[in-house]
Amino acid sequence: MANKKTHFILSLATIFLASLFISCDKNRLSYVDIIKREKRQIAEFVSKNNFKITSEPAEGQASPENEFFEVKDGIYLRIVNRGDMEKKLISGKTIVLTRFKMERFAQEEKSIYDNISPTKSGTYPCNFVYVKEGREILVSSTVSHSPYNSYLAPAMNFVLPYVGDGGKVQMIVSFKYGPGVAEIQQNGEPVFYELVEFKFKK
């Protein structure tokens, strides 16, 4: 009798755990659903901030106020200041020092990561080696490490050809080209770089 009772309890426990796993699996979004949700989040963010998306980059030293152009699907760029275009980027060699202010706008409670504001002047800039259309960020081992390096985005490799040394930009970035932070990637979160400054290491 005791064995039957134990078996019954174990069976109930198994059914309960199985139902939990099924419930969790149902709540987990598919990759397609994550992409759809992200597109909606970006569209809402663009609308809320009165941004305009174009298919061609602006001419001149800066883009018009609030005007972004689509570098590629998931990367939207506004040039704040083009910088010195005389200094050329060399893929795999040019070390880029960068400071930025990034917002995780898709969260209920928005998080901001900032190493560009005046109060952050005593901190190290982030750094990476420019790789043409590189899908990963390659941090240089020859430059002091910044705790903000985790929030560098591969999107930066795609926008750098549009600016020069000292260039400043704004970016809306899909998680596909965003920081490699596990939570951002797992949640499929787009991010907004309110300001990014690039300097080429001498």
For the chain, give the percent of residues with pLDDT over 90: 70
pLDDT digits (tens, 9 = 90+) for 37-61: 999 999 999 999 999 999 998 888 9
Return the pLDDT at 16. Answer: 52
- Where do the structural domains in the chain lie, given as residue ranges? 28-200
- Mean pLDDT (whole number) for 16-44: 75
189 pLDDT above the threshold of 60: yes
24 pLDDT above the threshold of 50: no
CB burial readout 128-137, b (16+ within 10 A) else e: bbbbeebeeb
- Per-residue pLDDT band for 165 (boundaries 50, 70, 90) equals very high
Task: Residue 138: name the closest of 89, 199, 95, 176 by CA.
Answer: 95
Retrieve residue 82's tokens: 């083009």
What global pTM score does this model have?
Answer: 0.84
Beta bridge partners of 69: 54, 77
Considering the four listed CATH numbers 3.10.50.40, 3.40.50.450, 3.30.70.1070, 3.40.50.300, the one that applies to the domain covering 28-200 is: 3.10.50.40
- Per-residue pLDDT band for 29 (boundaries 50, 70, 90) equals confident
